Amino acid sequence: MNAPDMQRARIALPYFRALGWEPVVLAVTPGSVEGAVLDPLFEHTYPADIRVIRVQGIPSKFTRWLGIGSLWWRCGRALRKAGDELLATEKFDLVFFTTTQFDAFTFGPRWLRRFGVPYVLDYQDPWINDYYRLTRTKPPGGWLRFSFSQYTARRREPHAVNEAGAIISVSAKYNDELRERYPAYDTGQLYHLPFGAAAADLEMARKLKPAQPLVPADDGKVHLVYAGRCGPDMNRALSLLFRAFRFYRQSAPAEAARLHFHFIGTGYAPPPLGQNSVLPVAEKEGVADQVTEVCYRVPYFDALHALVRANALIVVGSDDASYSASKIFPYLLARRPLLAVVHKDSLMLTLAREQNPDAGFGFENDPPKESGDMLARRICDDWFAQKKWESPPTGDMEALEPHLAAGMTRRLVAIFDQVLKSPKA
């Protein structure tokens, strides 16, 4: 199943045993996830003999009429029961929570108290999230649902955090926020660990032959591809990108006519329920006729296949500088020409420029309109006008090694080993 929050565990599974750990995975069945996009190829990316225990919660068809679709509300009890049984009947050294279903973190103190097993939390997003309040951006699901989730988060997070053997976060900013909220927590147990990138995934994608490719081939056009979530927090980057292209189209209409942008899998909803988030920005900038958006989730390897067959890749970043830099690694591994329009303080900007000095452009939040036009003009002059879609990356691939799955898993296991040496264990 293609779900972003399972990727850390998935790409680490091939390496755990060589590092002295035997993994057992506890998860929900794919059918428990409303609108799940199934991707059978995932099962070929980790050893077939790893134990994966899947639990079935309450099907959404029995709760949706009540307005309840939450995966946690439907499956939390089944997960807790399965975890209780595992820990009561087998010997485990550690529990690793890697999910954005944050209420599962509350099992940590329960299992530590009942079974004496320490736990590690993985913050892939902030549990307590002030972004939408500070930016006055409508959160996914609306304000009522989000406000309730934050009400419960502020009551449940303290206990889960204070008892954790260690906490890892994909963004250093999340750790800074945790330090501020929990000054008594040992800061030495907070670790910044972005997601790793699995080079084997790219190789599998190159061999894939989808029945209906998401990006055309051999049609004489230059296809620029972005794959992944888009939302209101990316409107700034999208506006700059499309404005720069509008400037280029005005100055070189014949050459610009060859270019076509593809934004793939921009929403989390299954087809056909997605809503466009990119096309409205393109329409505002007057270039929507050269933009295609697939606004629903697509199979992971289909999206990767689009990346590796593209003429060039586009990365647009959030106006939140802490937005995970991990998403850029598949783009870098694809070894295609790259254009990154991201926050000036984002690590993605540094990573993009390391591979190609002309690939990254950094923006500020809420600058004067003149400043935005200047940056868009610079993107136009330095990237589009120079036909940088023909310039593959020149950076040393060895520089990416620390960010690959094997290296990230070594760092993850080092944290596990440290937890077992801690007095809490």
Give the Cα separation of 339 and 139 in Å (integer): 28
Question: Tokens 């230059």 identify what position?
Answer: 222
Q: Could you tell me which residues are beta bridge partners of residue 121? A: 97, 167
Q: Give the tens place of pLDDT for each residue, 177-209.
A: 999 999 999 988 999 998 888 989 999 999 988
Class of domain 4-196+404-421: alpha beta
Q: Give the tens place of pLDDT for each residue, 206-216.
A: 998 887 889 99
Is 199-400 a domain of CATH 3.40.50.2000? yes
The full 3-state SS of 244-292, as one line of letters, equals HHHHHHHHCHHHHCCEEEEEECCCCCCCCCCCCCCHHHHHHHCCHHHEE
Domains 4-196+404-421 and 199-400 in one fold:
yes
For the chain, list residues with pLDDT below 70: 1-4, 34-37, 61-69, 324-326, 368-370, 423-425
DSSP string, 89-148: HS--S-EEEE-S-GGGGGHHHHHHHHH---EEEEESS-SS--HHHHHTPPPTT-HHHHHH
pLDDT of residue 1: 45
Q: What is the pTM of this model?
A: 0.87
Q: Could you tell me which residues are beta bridge partners of residue 77? A: none
Can you give the residue ranges of every domain in the chain?
4-196+404-421, 199-400
> Tokens at residue 377, please?
């003009």
